[in-house]
Structure 1
Amino acid sequence: MSVPTSRSDREPDPQPTPQPDGQSRVRLARLVALAAGVVGLLLCLLTPLLPVKQATAGLDWPQARPGATSADVTASLVTQSPANFTATVPCSVLTELAAKGGVALSTLPIGTSQARELGLSVSVGAPGPAQSVTVASRNAVIAAAPMDRLRGCAQLQVWSNPAEVGARFEGTDVSGTTATENRPVMGGVFTDLTPAQVAAAGPGLRAHAEIDTRFELAPSPVKALAIALGLLCVLASLIALWLLDRGYGYHRRAPSRGWKQILRPRPVDVAVVGGLVLWTFLGGGGSDDGYILSMGKVASEAGYTPNYYRFFGAPEAPFDWYYSFLAQWGSISANALWMRIPALLAGIAVWFLLSRVLLPRLGPGIRRYPVATWTAGAMLLAFWFPMNSGLRSEPIIVLGTIVTWAAVERAVATRRLLPAAIAALAAGMTLGLAPQGVVAVALLLASSAAVLRVIVARRNEAGIAALVLPILAAGAVIVPIAFRDQSLASVAEAIRIRLEVGPVAPWTQEYLRYFFLTVETTDGSLVRRVPVYLFIMCLFVALFVMLRSKRIPRIDPGPVWRLVGAVFIGAALLSLTPTKWTIHFGVYAGLAAALAAVTTVAVVEAARTSVRNFTFFLCGMLFALAAAFAGFNLWPWPYPWGVPWFDRQPEVAGLTFSTVFRDLAFVAGALAAWQHFRMDFRRRGEGGLADGDLVNADDAELATHTQAEQDGARRARRRLQLASLPLVVVLGLLVLGEGAIFAKAMVSNPSTYTVAKGNLDTLRGDSCGMAEKVLVETDPSSDLLPSAEGRPAAQALTGSASHGFLPDGLPDELKPLAISSAPGQINMASPITQPFTSTAATAGTGGGRGPRTINGSTAALPFGLDPARTPVVGSYGQNTVPAELFSDWYTLPARSADRPLVAFAASGAISSVGPTGKKEYGQPVTLEWAERRPDGSLGAQGVLDPIDPGPNKPWRNLRVPMDAIPPTANVVRIHVRDPNLGEQQWVAVTPPRAPRLRTLQDVVGKQDPVLLDLLVGQQFPCQRPMAIRNGTYEVPKWRILPTRKDALSTSSAWQAREAGGLLTVPDTLLRTTTLPTFMTGDLTRDWGELQQYTPIAADAPAADLTVGTQTRSGLWREGPIRALTNQTVRN
Structure 2
Amino acid sequence: MKYRISPAQLDLPAEPQPAADERPKRSRLGHWLAHVVACIVGIVGIACALALPFAPVWVDRTEVHWPAAELGAESTTALFAPYRPASFDAFVPCPVLRAALDRPQRTTVLTTLPPGSDREGLILTTRLGKPELVLGQHQVPLPPGACELAIHADSGQSVVTAGGQPPIVLPGIAAPEIFTFATDLEPRQVAGLSVTARTYSWFDTSPTDVKSTLITTVLALAVVSLGLLLVHSPPALGRIRLSPRLLPVDASVAAVLAGWLVIGPLTDDDGFAMMTIRNYEDAGDIGNYYRWFNASETPFTLVQHLMRWVSQESLAPAWLRLPSVLAGLLTWIIVSRGIVAPLCKDTRRLPLHLLTAVFFLACWLPFGLGIRPEPFVALGTSALVAALLKMTRTRLPHFWLGVAAFLTGLTVAVTPTGVSALVTVLVFAPRIGRVLVQHGVLPRWISVPTRVVLVGCLGTVGLVAMFADSTLNGVRQATAIHNEFGPSLGWYQEIERYTSLLSTIIWGASGKRMAVFLVITAVLITGACAMRQVHRWTGLVDLPVLLGSVVAVLVALWLTPSKWTHHFGALAGVGSALLVVLVVLLGRVGRLGHAKRESRLIGVFGGIAASVAAALAFMGPNVWPMQSDLAMPWSDTPVEPGLPLDSPALWLVTGATVGALTFGFVRIRALMSHRDLTGLVWTVMPASVLGLAALASVLVLVGSFIAAPQIMGDRFSIARMNWQSIRASSCGLEDEVETLPIAERLSPVDGSTELDGFTSGGTPPQEPDLRTENPGEPLHAEKPDDPKAPEGEVASTSASQFAWTSTTGGPQTTGSLTSGWFGLPRLTGNQTLSVWVSGRPEQGNSLALEFGASLPRQVRPLETHELRDAAPTDLPFDDPRHGRPIDWRNFRDWRLLTVDAAQIPAGADRVRVLAEDRTSDEQGWLTVSGPAVRDVVPLRQALDEREPVLIDWQMSFVFPCRFGYPQVSHGVATSPRMLISPPEGEGSMTFGTDMGGVFAGVPMQSQRFELPSRLRDAPGNTWGHLYSVRYAIERDDYTTTRHRERIGGADGDPAYPFKEH
What is the TM-score with the length of structure 1 in the denominator? 0.82
| 2:819 alignment partner AA | S
Equivalent residue in structure 1 for 2:947, among 976, 996, 1008: 1008
Deviation at residue 890 of structure 1 after TM alignment:
3.2
Does residue 275 (structure 1) correspond to residue 256 (structure 2)? The answer is yes
**1:1059 matched residue in structure 2:** 995
Per the alignment, residue 746 of structure 2 pairs with: 785
Distance 1:373 1:721 in 2: 18
Q: 1:468 aligns with which of 452, 459, 469?
A: 452
Gap regions ≥5 residues in structure 2: 770-783, 786-793, 873-888
Report the CA distance between 1:1077 and its aligned residue: 0.6
2:732 to 766, 769, 780: 769
Aligned to 1:682: none
1:1113 aligns with 2:1048: yes
Report what 1:565 is aligned to: 548
TM-score, normalised with respect to structure 2: 0.87
Residues 591 and 680 of structure 2 are in contact (CA less than 8 Å); yes or no, is this contact kept in structure 1? no
Displacement after TM superposition at 1:358 (Å): 2.0
SS at match of 1:316: coil
- Output one character per residue of 1:515-571: Cα deviation in whole Å (capped at 9) or x when no partner: 32212221122111111111111222223233324426654312x221111222332
Structure 1 residue 946 and structure 2 residue 899: aligned?
no
Deviation at 1:106, TM superposition (A): 3.2
Match of 2:274 among 261, 272, 293: 293
Match of 1:800 in 2: 753
Paired letter, 1:1000: L
In structure 1, distance between residues paired with 2:767 and 2:702: 35
Amino acid at match of 2:868: P
Other structure's SS at 2:632 match = coil
Partner of 1:911: 841
CA shift digits 1:720-776 (9 cap, x unpaired): 999965433321221121111111111111142111111112124332100111111
Question: What displacement does 1:1007 show?
Answer: 9.1
What amino acid does structure 2 have at the position aligned with 1:376? T
Q: Aligned with 2:712: secondary structure?
A: coil
Secondary structure of the residue aligned to 1:876 is coil
Alpha-carbon distance in structure 2 between the residues aligned to 1:586 and 1:166: 52
Amino acid at match of 1:194: E
CA distance change for structure 1 residues 423 and 652 in 2, over 3 Å: closer, same or farther? closer
1:44 aligns with 2:49: yes
Which residue of 1 is the match for residue 437 of structure 2?
Answer: 456
SS of the residue 2:623 aligns to: coil
Q: Secondary structure at the match of 1:928?
A: strand
Aligned residue for 1:106, secondary structure, equals strand
Contact 1:443 1:566 in 2 (8 A): yes
Report the more deviating stretch, 304-313 or 1100-1109: 1100-1109
Contact 1:52 1:485 in 2 (8 A): no
Matched residue, 2:877: none
The amino acid across from 1:86 in the alignment is: D
2:276–2:287: 8 Å Cα contact kept in structure 1? yes
Cα displacement string for residues 74-116 of structure 1 (whole angstroms, at most 9, x for unaligned residues):
4321111111111111233222212324545434466x213x6
What's the CA shift for 1:1011?
1.5
Residue matched to 1:847? none
The Cα shift of 1:169 comes to 2.6
Sort the Cα spacing of 1:937 and 1:363 in 2 relative to 1 into closer, same or farther, 3 A: closer
Equivalent AA in structure 2 for residue 925 of structure 1: L
- What's the offset of the Cα at 1:993? 2.2
Q: Which position in structure 2 is the counterpart of 1:518? A: 502
User: How is 1:304-323 mapped onto 2 (pairs within 5 angstroms)?
Assistant: 304-323=285-304
Partner of 1:446: 427
Contact 1:619 1:668 in 2 (8 A): no
Q: 2:848 aligns with which of 907, 918, 926?
A: 926
CA distance in 1: counterparts of 2:301 and 2:566, whole angstroms: 18
Q: 1:670 and 1:233, CA in 2 relative to 1: closer, same or farther beyond 3 A? A: closer
Report which stretch shifted further, 131-140 or 925-934: 925-934
1:971-1000 CA distances to partner (integer Å, 9 max, x unpaired)? Answer: 432222234567864332222223202121
Identify the residue that residue 143 of structure 1 maps to in structure 2: 141
Structure 1 residue 647 and structure 2 residue 643: aligned? no
Q: Does the Cα contact within 8 Å between 1:523 and 1:583 map onto a contact in 2? A: yes
User: Structure 1: which amino acid aligns with 2:252?
Assistant: A
Q: Quick one: distance in 2 between partners of 1:502 and 1:671?
A: 49
Counterpart of 2:195 in structure 1 is 207
Amino acid at match of 1:327: R
The 2-side partners of 1:785 and 1:896 are apart by 16
Query: In the alignment, which residue of structure 2 is the partner of 1:394?
Result: 374
Shift of residue 235 of structure 1?
Answer: 2.1
- Report if aligned partners of 2:656, 2:685 keep a CA contact under 8 Å in 1: no
Answer with 346-355 or 170-179: which moved more. Answer: 170-179
Q: What whole-Å deviation, never above 9, does each CA across 1:808-866 have from its counterpart, x for those lacking one?
A: 4579xx9xxxxxxxxxxxxxxxxxxxxxxxxxx9999xxxxxxxx99xxxxxxxx9862
Larger deviation, residues 284-293 vs 1006-1015: 1006-1015
Counterpart residue number, 2:791: none
Structure 1 position 1100, deviation (Å) = 4.5
Query: Of 418, 426, 429, which aligns to 2:410?
Result: 429
Structure 1 residues 92 and 963: CA distance shift in structure 2, 3 A: same
Q: Is the 8 A contact 1:6 1:556 kept in 2?
A: no
What's 1:574 paired with?
Answer: 557
Work out whether 1:631 is the aligned partner of 2:561.
no
Judge conservation of contact 1:946–1:960 (CA < 8 Å) in 2: no
Do the aligned residues in 1 keep the contact of 2:276 with 2:288 (CA within 8 Å)?
A: yes
Partner of 1:1022: 961
Q: Residues 864 and 1075 of structure 1 are in contact (CA less than 8 Å); yes or no, is this contact kept in structure 2? A: no
**Structure 1 residues 1037, 102: closer, same or farther in 2, change over 3 A?**
same
Report if the CA contact (8 A) 2:112-2:179 is conserved: yes
In the TM superposition, residue 234 of structure 1 has moved relative to its aligned partner by 2.4
2:358–2:698: 8 Å Cα contact kept in structure 1? yes
CA–CA distance in structure 1, aligned partners of residues 512 and 735 of structure 2: 32
Contact 1:34 1:237 in 2 (8 A): no
Structure 1 217/1007 Cα, relative in aligned 2: closer, same or farther at 3 Å? farther
Structure 1 partner of 2:649:
662
Q: Does 1:1033 align with 2:1033?
A: no
* Deviations 1:31-86, CA, capped at 9 Å, x for gaps: 331011000001101110111111111123333266x8x53344321111111111
The residue type paired with residue 92 of structure 1 is: P
Q: Partner of 2:209 in structure 1?
A: 221
Give, in whole Å, the separation in 1 of the partners of 2:147 and 2:827.
71
Q: Describe how 1:169-568 pairs up with structure 2 within 5 A.
A: 169-171=162-164, 175=168, 177=170, 179-180=172-173, 183-199=175-191, 202=192, 205-245=193-233, 249=234, 251-252=235-236, 255-258=238-241, 261=242, 266-365=247-346, 367-368=347-348, 370-414=350-394, 415-458=396-439, 461=442, 463-551=447-535, 555-558=539-542, 560-568=543-551
Q: Secondary structure at the match of 1:657?
A: coil
Is 2:125 the counterpart of 1:119?
no
Mapped contact 1:319–1:432 kept (Cα < 8 A)? yes
Q: Structure 2 vs 1, CA of residues 154 and 980 (structure 1 numbering), >3 Å: closer, same or farther?
A: same
* Contact 2:156-2:171 within 8 A present in 1 as well: no
Alignment partner of 1:315: what SS? Answer: coil
The letter of the residue matching 1:482 is M
Aligned to 2:699: 736
Structure 1 counterpart of 2:257, which letter?
A: L
Tell me how far 1:29 sits from its aligned partner.
3.3
Q: 1:955-966, aligned counterparts within 5 Å?
A: 955-966=894-905
Instruction: Give matches, 1:719-868, under 5 Å.
Output: 725-778=688-741, 780=742, 782-787=743-748, 789=750, 799-809=752-762, 866-867=797-798
One-letter amino acid of the structure 1 residue matched with residue 609 of structure 2:
G
Kept in 2, the 8 Å contact 1:690–1:719? The answer is no
| Separation in 1, partners of 2:682, 2:156 | 77
Trace 1:74-89 onto structure 2 (pairs within 5 A). 74-89=77-92
Alignment-derived partner of residue 16 in structure 2: 16
CA contact (8 A) 2:344 2:581 kept: no
With 224-233 and 1079-1088 compared, the bigger mean Cα shift is at: 224-233
| 5+ long unaligned stretches in structure 1 | 676-685, 696-707, 790-795, 815-840, 845-852, 855-862, 913-920
Which amino acid counterpart does residue 88 of structure 2 have in structure 1? Answer: F
Deviation of the 1:508 alpha carbon: 1.6
* Corresponding residue for residue 837 of structure 1: none
Give the drift of 1:176. Answer: 6.8
Say whether the 8 Å CA contact 1:211–1:1031 is kept in structure 2. yes
Q: Which of these residues, 97, 100, 103, is aligned with residue 100 of structure 2?
A: 97
Look up the equivalent residue of 1:507 and give its one-letter code: W
Aligned to 2:575, what secondary structure does the other structure show? helix
Q: Measure the CA separation in 1 of the matches of 2:93 and 2:320.
A: 56
Number of residues of Structure 1 aligned to a counterpart in Structure 2: 1000
> C-alpha displacement at 1:28, in angstroms?
4.3
